[in-house]
Amino acid sequence: ENDIISGLPLRNKKVLITAGPTYEAIDPVRFIGNHSSGKMGFELAKEAAILGANVILISGPSNENVKNSLIKRIDVVSAEEMYNAVHEHYTTCDIAISSAAVADFKPSEVFTDKLKKKDVELSIKLMPTKDILASLGKVKKNQFLVGFALETSNELENAKGKLKRKNLDLIVLNSLQDKGAGFKKETNKVTLIDTSLNCLEFQTKSKTAVAKDIFNEILKKYNA
Ligand code: CTP
Ligand code: CA
């Protein structure tokens, strides 16, 4: 084994990370998406690699790039594709972090032809996607499972609810109230909540620094 990697805290560990948005097809040329850049997930992948882990980064459409021999990137488009890719790697991973902004709904039917322009209202029927993270919580064995919560109100309460409901070991509350935080931004403001519902609030900082804070906390709890 490489001498440099052998002294690192996550050497020989497999870390699974989801990142970015998902796109849900309406017709061959249109989709429902969201503003996630994938930046937070890519920063988490880089930090995991710095700590010596073998990283599986499963990303929806993103302009982010990463070049690191410890990071294997798998590109997906829809929530269903992400679900399948995640489950292929979950059973063998040690730590899983769900930072993707997975679509909650997808069109109930995908039109095979491009929808034509008309001068009347158009309704598109939507159905729920599978909750990837909740499905991981259900089949969790020894994995340390980390989720995100994106909230605009009742932040702490909602995040704690997600932690319990999805059987997580840690949840990262993403505060959208802060002007410097969230989608398309270089910075984030997070609060980490553990299974005892202890809250650790951080200042607004770069997503690189946020990724380090998150892994500091994971290492403390994972080795405990
Ligand atoms: N998540 C997921 N699959 C989904 C929806 C969400 O894996 N279909 C994950 C996200 O990656 C995140 C966590 O679940 O780690 C919480 O996502 P969030 O959107 O904050 O919460 P939801 O459970 O989707 O509920 P809501 O959007 O209604 O607040
Ligand atoms: Ca959601």
Q: Which tens digit of pLDDT belongs to each residue from 180-205?
A: 555 667 899 999 999 999 999 999 99
Residues annotated in the binding site, as ranges? 104, 114, 148, 162, 166
Confidence (pLDDT) at 188 = 93
Establish if 116 belongs to a structural domain.
Answer: no
Establish if 135 belongs to a structural domain.
Answer: yes
Establish if 117 belongs to a structural domain.
Answer: no
Domain that holds residue 193: 3-103+122-223
Mean pLDDT of the chain: 94
Q: What is the 3-state secondary structure (H, E, C) of the chain?
A: CCHHHHCCCCCCCEEEEEECECCEEEECCEEECCCCCCHHHHHHHHHHHHCCCEEEEEECCCCCCCCCCCEEEEECCCHHHHHHHHHHHHCCCCEEEECCECCCEEECCCCCCCCCCCCCCCCCCEEECCCHHHHHHHCCCCCEEEEEEEECCCHHHHHHHHHHHCCCCEEEEEECCCCCCCCCCCEECEEEEECCCCEEECCCEEHHHHHHHHHHHHHHHHHC
Q: Mean per-residue pLDDT for 76-96? A: 98
- Mutate which of 130, 156, 162 for ligand 1? The one with the most ligand atoms within 8 Å of its CB, which is 162
Q: How many domains does the chain have?
A: 1
Establish if 109 belongs to a structural domain.
Answer: no
Residue 69: which CATH number? 3.40.50.10300
Establish if 113 belongs to a structural domain.
Answer: no
Is residue 34 annotated as a catalytic residue, yes or no?
Answer: yes
- Please determine, for residue 176, whether its predicted confidence score (pLDDT) is greater than 90: no
- Please determine, for residue 47, whether its predicted confidence score (pLDDT) is greater than 80: yes
Complex ipTM > 0.90: yes
- Please determine, for residue 74, whether its predicted confidence score (pLDDT) is greater than 80: yes
pLDDT band for position 51 (50/70/90)? very high
Q: What is the largest CA-CA distance in the chain?
A: 67
- Please determine, for residue 5, whether its predicted confidence score (pLDDT) is greater than 70: no
Contact by Cβ (8 Å): 72, 53: no
Residue 93 near ligand 1, beta carbon < 6 Å: no
Per-residue pLDDT tens for 119-170? 999 999 999 999 999 999 999 999 999 999 999 889 999 999 999 999 999 9
Residue 155 near ligand 1, beta carbon < 6 Å: no
Establish if 108 belongs to a structural domain.
Answer: no
Establish if 190 belongs to a structural domain.
Answer: yes
Residue 133 near ligand 1, beta carbon < 6 Å: yes
What percent of the chain shows pLDDT beyond 70? Answer: 93
- CA 147 to ligand 1: nearest atom: 15
Confidence (pLDDT) at 7 = 86
Start-to-end CA distance of the chain, whole Å, equals 26
Q: Mean per-residue pLDDT for 68-91? A: 98
Residues in Cβ contact with 175 at an 8 Å cutoff, skipping those fewer than 6 apart: 151, 155, 181, 182, 189, 190, 191
Among residues 193, 15, 217, which one has the least CA distance to residue 96? 15
